[in-house]
Amino acid sequence: MSDTQEIKPEMPVVCSQGGQFATVDHMQGSDMIKLKKDDSGQHHYIPTSWVTSTKNGQVQIDRPGQEAMKQWSESPTAH
């Protein structure tokens, strides 16, 4: 896992296949990332345990975007 101190608002969230699927809204506590609202107006949350890198001004995660979107939560305590 990368240093979560490096995760900042507006950073793109990039899947293991290299595509951006979300944008950071802000850190929710020390172990969850709150993502900006999607097209339907819903925030989603992903655990920092998915993060593999915060280099190049983006948050890289360990899974494909489609898988991440199936597994993300609508609550910061769901994981």
Instruction: For residue 78, tell me if it sits in a domain.
Output: no
Which tokens in the block code for residue 76?
A: 């910061």
- The predicted-structure confidence for 4-52, as pLDDT tens digits, reads as follows 889 999 999 999 999 999 999 999 998 999 999 998 999 999 999 999 9
CB 75 within 8 A of CB 64: no
* CATH at 30: 2.30.30.240
Looking at residue 76, its pLDDT comes to: 87
Contacts for 55 with CB less than 8 Å, ≥ 6 apart: 2
Residue 31 counted as domain residue: yes
Q: What is the DSSP string of 40-73?
A: TS--EEEEGGGEEE-GGGSEEESS-HHHHHHH-B
More confident residue, 70 or 78: 70
- Assigned domain for 17 exists: yes
How many domains is the chain built from?
A: 1
Domain membership flag for residue 33:
yes
Q: Is residue 76 part of a domain?
A: no
Q: What is the pTM of this model?
A: 0.91
Asked if residue 77 belongs to a domain, the reply is: no
Range of the domain at 58: 4-71
